[in-house]
Amino acid sequence: MLVKTHAAATAAECDDVRERIEAIGARVRGVNANGRTVLICAGDTAALRRLRLESMSGVESVFDIPQPYKLAARNGSADTIVRIPGPTPTQIGGRTFTMIAGPCAVENLTMLRTTATAVGAAGANLLRGGAFKPRTSPYAFQGLGEAGLEMLGQVRAETGLPVVTEVMDARQIEAMLPYVDVFQVGARNMQNYTLLAELGRIRRPVLLKRSAAATIEELLLAAEHILAPGNGDVILCERGVRARETKTRNTLDIAAVPVLKRETHLPVIVDPSHAAGRSDLVLPLSLAALAAGADGIMVEVHPHPAEALSDGDQSLTPSEFRALTAAIAALAPLLGREVPAVLEPVRAA
């Protein structure tokens, strides 16, 4: 059950409501939403209804939310649009179709700058690139760490592209804040709940990737772990699930896009690069994502894929990426979508 208080409700009124709920053994958690307190109650629904909380002072309205993801659930609400202030303000959600592109990992300043400049000129709206890389083998390249963050910060200043990069551990958040516009949670950490809770306590958008083993409900509940502590800026990302097929790295669950758009108000993007694991499938899967209703894509681009330190097989060249953005720009209007204008690079004077 959700209890929405009046904007003018006092702290004492909120406390009264909370106490009445706890008195019957239910659990309650307060969330700040647009300046008012929303109380999420979990417990015996019938008993909660008998409390008639809607008649208490300070309460505006009371809702039953049948889904276990109380805050993520659509329930008739409008699309959440996640605003990314960044060096150049942009957004994910609404009528915009957002394109995030960049290398799998930050390898050095030159390649990052080359890639960022190329993808920005081709129409990318945000730059992706990993500084901390979760790798299946402990002997593989693990990313440049803080040096990589600094390179992201420098290229962000030069190109004006906001930066999306992966956080693997709650202890990294503090150091990342100066460089990062969107924190990415990788598929392998989708159920790392202590990390999600910490991200729920900051004010910075979070891009949450679906685990290859997770159901749609589990993805929405993972999002709820970020929403519940108070961070409402969550972007969901479908990147393929595990099935039996071996000609692709994962099986892109394209139906998850329209299902998620019905289940939640949060924006939904697709990562065709990790889903396919093959660069030749990125174009058709990106167009399929647009056609199925996604709010954007996240694509790996590398100036020389054959020399990439990770994920070379699935990286586009800059010219392949230009062909992709052109195809999307042509189709998007027919699907009711706008593609943001190409940025003028904000080079340091």
Q: Looking at 17-25, 62-70, 146-154, 201-209, which segment touches its own copies (CB under 8 A)?
A: 62-70
Total of residues contacting its own copies (CB under 8 A): 73
Using CB under 8 A as the binding rule, the residues of this chain from 211 to 270 that contact its own copies are 211-213, 215-218, 221, 224-225, 228, 241-248, 251-259, 262-263
- The first and second tokens of residue 304, run together, are 């020389």
Minimum separation from the CB atom of position 130 to its own copies (A): 13
Minimum separation from the CB atom of position 84 to its own copies (A): 25
Minimum separation from the CB atom of position 121 to its own copies (A): 23
Give me the sheet containing 59-63, strands edge to edge: 27-33, 36-42, 2-5, 59-63
Using CB under 8 A as the binding rule, the residues of this chain from 103 to 132 that contact its own copies are none
Q: Which residue's CB is nearer to its own copies, number 41 or number 207?
A: 41
Give the DSSP letter string of 11-72: HHHHHHHHHHHHHTT-EEEEEEETTEEEEEEES-HHHHHHT-GGGSTTEEEEE---SS-TTT
Minimum separation from the CB atom of position 166 to its own copies (A): 11
Using CB under 8 A as the binding rule, the residues of this chain from 31 to 60 that contact its own copies are 40, 42
Q: Which residue's CB is nearer to its own copies, number 193 or number 319?
A: 193
Minimum separation from the CB atom of position 287 to its own copies (A): 4
How far apart are the C-alpha atoms of 289 and 271, rounded to whole Å?
Answer: 9
Strands 59-63 and 2-5: antiparallel
Interface residue with its own copies, options 48, 62, 180, 276 (CB under 8 A): 276
Minimum separation from the CB atom of position 292 to its own copies (A): 4
The answer to whether the CB of 250 falls within 8 A of the CB of 275 is: yes
Strands 182-185 and 27-33: unpaired
Minimum separation from the CB atom of position 51 to its own copies (A): 18
Amino acid at 132: F
252 CB burial (10 A radius; 0-12, 13-18, 19+) = buried
Using CB under 8 A as the binding rule, the residues of this chain from 282 to 301 that contact its own copies are 284-285, 287-293
Q: C-alpha dihedral over 172, 273, 271, 226, to 10 degrees?
A: -20
Site string for its own copies, 150-169 (x = CB under 8 A): ------------------xx
- The first and second tokens of residue 315, run together, are 């990286």
Secondary structure letter of residue 91 according to DSSP: E
Using CB under 8 A as the binding rule, the residues of this chain from 7 to 26 that contact its own copies are none
Q: Which residue's CB is nearer to its own copies, number 111 or number 222?
A: 222
Quickly tell me which residue has 């681009």 as its tokens: 301
Using CB under 8 A as the binding rule, the residues of this chain from 313 to 342 that contact its own copies are 330-331, 334-335
